Amino acid sequence: MNLLPTLVVVVAVGLVNLISAQDCNAQEDEYGQGIVIYSQDQLDALTRNCTRLYGDLVVGSNYTGSFIMHNLTNLTSSISVLNSTTGLTSLEAPDLVTIYGAEFTYPSSLQSISLPRLETAVFITIEGRSPITVSIPNLRNVSYLDLSGSSINANLSSLEQITTGSSICGEAGCDKRSSSQMHIDLPALRGAASLSVGGNISSLSLPVLASAGNISQAQTTGYGDYSAGLAVHSSQLLNFSVPALNFLNGTLSLRGAFDSISAPSLKNATGDIALEAWYPLAVNLSSLQVADDITLIGAISSTDFSSLKQVNKFSVDSTRHLNCDKVLPSNASFVHAHCNSAPQKKSALARNIGIGVGVGLGASMLLAVAGICIYRRRQKRTKKRKDKQAVGAGAGEESTHELQPVGREGEEGQGQSRDGSERAGEQAPTTAATQPSAAGVPAEPPPPYSRY
Ligand SMILES: *[C@@H]1O[C@H](CO)[C@@H](O)[C@H](O)[C@H]1NC(C)=O
Ligand SMILES: *[C@@H]1O[C@H](CO)[C@@H](O)[C@H](O)[C@H]1NC(C)=O
Ligand SMILES: *[C@@H]1O[C@H](CO)[C@@H](O)[C@H](O)[C@H]1NC(C)=O
Ligand SMILES: *[C@@H]1O[C@H](CO)[C@@H](O)[C@H](O)[C@H]1NC(C)=O
Ligand SMILES: *[C@@H]1O[C@H](CO)[C@@H](O)[C@H](O)[C@H]1NC(C)=O
Ligand SMILES: *[C@@H]1O[C@H](CO)[C@@H](O)[C@H](O)[C@H]1NC(C)=O
Ligand SMILES: *[C@@H]1O[C@H](CO)[C@@H](O)[C@H](O)[C@H]1NC(C)=O
Ligand SMILES: *[C@@H]1O[C@H](CO)[C@@H](O)[C@H](O)[C@H]1NC(C)=O
Ligand SMILES: *[C@@H]1O[C@H](CO)[C@@H](O)[C@H](O)[C@H]1NC(C)=O
Ligand SMILES: *[C@@H]1O[C@H](CO)[C@@H](O)[C@H](O)[C@H]1NC(C)=O
Ligand SMILES: *[C@@H]1O[C@H](CO)[C@@H](O)[C@H](O)[C@H]1NC(C)=O
Ligand SMILES: *[C@@H]1O[C@H](CO)[C@@H](O)[C@H](O)[C@H]1NC(C)=O
């Protein structure tokens, strides 16, 4: 037997392995920022024989043209682009399969980011105001994902898991009105420990999202910045649909203008549902059997909770007329239930909200209008209540009550009430005021995605 061919093969395979797993280092600079790349030639020289790079790469502020990272498959640390890099036009990493992190606070000159083979990342942050195409079509798994800017057109067509937290926001802070419409398409997303989406959303597609708020895989460091579950804040009228959602932990928080909501697979939620409707909404959660707390406020025109068997706290405060006797099925068990709705005739608040949406008032304006109206209503109510109850009646205190459950049993006959074993009227006002926040609906016009 001649061993030579085998030896040759072994040596050849050894060489290929050597090349395909070649490591190199990006030296830290004096600020510990990693290596700053000023030109494609410098980058090519760094990565010529290198597939795994240890250390951070920073695109230098005077970099011009396209930035193409050849050969690298594994970047063990991160790459960053700052918005001062005003000559950068595109960024590509054709071979990159895995990266620890990518932080692109991009300048307006940058029009595309292409990471065609990237499969996993710990964090990806993309933040900017100008239009950009981001293609990461093979990304399957990310721990943190933050896209901030309504002009980001992202292809994340294989993304399956967001294991810690994410936000996709029109503008920084998520609550601001965004000028451009956002189309958010996450066709493969099956699970998200925390996902919050906000802005001028004209379409939101989450066709296979089955699990929201499973934090068992979340990285403990940084998790506290995100709240478990799914939050959608839309300033544009939106049909919200999560056809596959069957696991909900944390909070499903919907806030803004919704034409309809649909969660037909959601039966037993181990979390809360918090909804603030800015536009008349028929709430249909007819599949839901079990939930922790359910809080609905705003222009709730009807509710269907016909399968609900068990809920901890159930609270409805509608600016529309509702039949409060029918909001919960008669066999549902609850610890605390509360319903208040406008009288049959449209209230001033309901009309204002309707008109506001009609003429396209901005989101924050709308909230301000709602806030003022509720404030006025509360002032009126408080005046009436003063004879009955010794409530600390300072002006400051009233404003903290703005969006507390407005109905008190037997109070001014304005709404119909149905109270549970622990009646709302028996609670200290401050406790009542904090309830909506506890369930995830902000108590006043706040940044809706404030990361607590
Ligand atoms: C890359 O490999 C070639 C051939 O093995 C060698 O001549 C060259 O110095 C290497 N370049 C770097 C940057 O390591
Ligand atoms: C690195 O990429 C360059 C450009 O694509 C290519 O010419 C070179 O052969 C690659 N080197 C290795 C070791 O793969
Ligand atoms: C970019 O800046 C670096 C560091 O200041 C400098 O060494 C390099 O020559 C500059 N490149 C160009 C093309 O101006
Ligand atoms: C990338 O490199 C790191 C550090 O050596 C290693 O732990 C990780 O498994 C590598 N990832 C892949 C996909 O090869
Ligand atoms: C870069 O970002 C900072 C902070 O987000 C911002 O103030 C500044 O205007 C931005 N610069 C450019 C060139 O976009
Ligand atoms: C996303 O990218 C993949 C791969 O390039 C492509 O096949 C797919 O059509 C893209 N999806 C969208 C919505 O553009
Ligand atoms: C996500 O990717 C990491 C790194 O490859 C892996 O350890 C982890 O198991 C993956 N998680 C999921 C849910 O796919
Ligand atoms: C949402 O985007 C559309 C189209 O760009 C625009 O007409 C509308 O005013 C935007 N809405 C808000 C609240 O910014
Ligand atoms: C659900 O949330 C609770 C508290 O927020 C947490 O303790 C629990 O681990 C979560 N369950 C899963 C499966 O994530
Ligand atoms: C939560 O995620 C873990 C890890 O992926 C998985 O093992 C577990 O079954 C999930 N729990 C639920 C209730 O989906
Ligand atoms: C929501 O869906 C209904 C029924 O498919 C449709 O008539 C309506 O136009 C949709 N609304 C929006 C805002 O897309
Ligand atoms: C959902 O909750 C109901 C009532 O507690 C219970 O009868 C049913 O078995 C639960 N279903 C699942 C799939 O956990």
Please write the tens of the pLDDT for every residue from 423-446: 333 333 333 333 333 233 332 222
The answer to whether residue 400 scores a pLDDT higher than 50 is no
Q: Does residue 353 fall inside a structural domain?
A: no
Residue whose CA is closest, atom 10 of ligand 12?
Answer: 268
The alpha carbon dihedral of 343, 349, 354, 355 has a sign of: positive
Atom of ligand 5 nearest to the CA of 129: 14
Q: Does residue 396 fall inside a structural domain?
A: no
Tell me which of 155, 159, 203, 205 to substitute to probe ligand 6's pocket, judged by most ligand atoms within 8 Å of the beta carbon. Answer: 155
Residue whose CA is closest, atom 5 of ligand 6?
Answer: 137
Per-residue pLDDT, averaged over 265-280, amounts to 96
Given a contact cutoff of 8 angstroms between Cβ atoms, the answer to whether 175 and 448 are in contact is yes
Domain of residue 107: give its range: 25-272
For residue 289 and ligand 12, the question of a CB distance below 6 A is answered with yes
The answer to whether residue 178 scores a pLDDT higher than 70 is no
User: What is the rounded end-to-end Cα distance, in angstroms, of the chain?
Assistant: 71
Confidence of residue 31 (pLDDT cuts 50, 70, 90): low
Atom of ligand 12 nearest to the CA of 290: 2
Per-residue pLDDT, averaged over 256-273, amounts to 96
Q: Write down the pLDDT at residue 121.
A: 96
Q: Ligand 4: residues within 6 Å at CB?
A: 52, 74, 76, 97-98
Q: Does residue 94 fall inside a structural domain?
A: yes
Give me ligand 2 centre to Cα 47, in Å: 8
For residue 357 and ligand 11, the question of a CB distance below 6 A is answered with no
Q: Write down the pLDDT at residue 284.
A: 96
Atom of ligand 7 nearest to the CA of 141: 1
For residue 84 and ligand 3, the question of a CB distance below 6 A is answered with no
Give me ligand 6 centre to Cα 7, in Å: 44
Maximum Cα–Cα distance for the chain, whole Å?
107
From residue 106, how far is each of 32, 91, 111, 174, 238 by CA, in Å?
21, 11, 9, 18, 29
The more confident residue out of 5 and 123 is 123
Confidence of residue 144 (pLDDT cuts 50, 70, 90): very high
Q: Does residue 331 fall inside a structural domain?
A: no
The answer to whether residue 291 scores a pLDDT higher than 90 is yes
Ligand nearest the Cα of residue 38 is 3
Atom of ligand 11 nearest to the CA of 260: 1
State how far the Cα of 169 lies from the Cα of 325, in Å rounded to an integer.
38
State how far the Cα of 407 lies from the Cα of 287, in Å rounded to an integer.
27
Torsions phi, psi for 318 (to 5 deg): -110, 145
The answer to whether residue 378 scores a pLDDT higher than 80 is no
Q: Does residue 352 fall inside a structural domain?
A: no
Q: Write down the pLDDT at residue 30.
A: 58
Tell me which of 184, 202, 239, 357 to substitute to probe ligand 11's pocket, judged by most ligand atoms within 8 Å of the beta carbon. Answer: 239
| Residues pairing with 168 in the sheet | 147, 197
Give me ligand 4 centre to Cα 149, in Å: 31
The answer to whether residue 243 scores a pLDDT higher than 70 is yes
Per-residue pLDDT, averaged over 161-165, amounts to 94
Confidence of residue 181 (pLDDT cuts 50, 70, 90): confident
State how far the Cα of 210 lies from the Cα of 263, in Å rounded to an integer.
10
| Residues pairing with 144 in the sheet | 123, 165
Q: Does residue 16 fall inside a structural domain?
A: no
The amino acid that residue 189 corresponds to is L
Q: Does residue 391 fall inside a structural domain?
A: no
Q: Write down the pLDDT at residue 174.
A: 67
Q: Write down the pLDDT at residue 257.
A: 94
Phi-psi region of 250 (alpha: psi -120 to 50; beta: other; left: phi over 0): left
> Looking at the 3D structure of the chain, how many domains does it have?
1
The more confident residue out of 70 and 225 is 70
Q: Write down the pLDDT at residue 57.
A: 92
| Residues pairing with 67 in the sheet | 91
Q: Does residue 122 fall inside a structural domain?
A: yes
Count other C-beta atoms under 10 Å from residue 341's C-beta.
26
State how far the Cα of 226 lies from the Cα of 145, in Å rounded to an integer.
11
Q: Write down the pLDDT at residue 171.
A: 72
For residue 137 and ligand 6, the question of a CB distance below 6 A is answered with yes
3-state secondary structure the chain: CCCHHHHHHHHHHHHHHHHHCCEEECCCCCCCCCEEECCHHHHHHHHCCCCEEECCEEECCCCEEEEECCCCCEEEEEEEECCCCCEEEEEECCCCCEEEEEEEECCCCCCEEECCCCCEEEEEEEECCCCEEEECCCCCEEEEEEEECCCEEEECCCCCEEEEEEEEECCCCCCCCCCCCEEEECCCCCEECEEEEEECEEEEECCCCCEECCCCCCCHHHHCCCCCEEEEEEEEEEEEECCCCCEECCEEEEEEEEEEEECCCCCECCCEEEEEEEEEEEEECCCCCEEEEEEEEEEEEEEECCCCCEEEEEEEEECCCCCHHHCCCCCCEEEEEEEECCCCCCCHHHHHHHHHHHCCCCHHHHHHHHHHHHHHHHHHHHHHHHHHCCCCCCHHHHHHCCCCCCCCCCCCCCCCCCCCCCCHHHCCHHHHHHHHHHCCCCCCCCCCCCCC
Least confident of 10-19, 274-283, 301-310: 10-19
Q: Write down the pLDDT at residue 28.
A: 65
Per-residue pLDDT, averaged over 163-180, amounts to 77
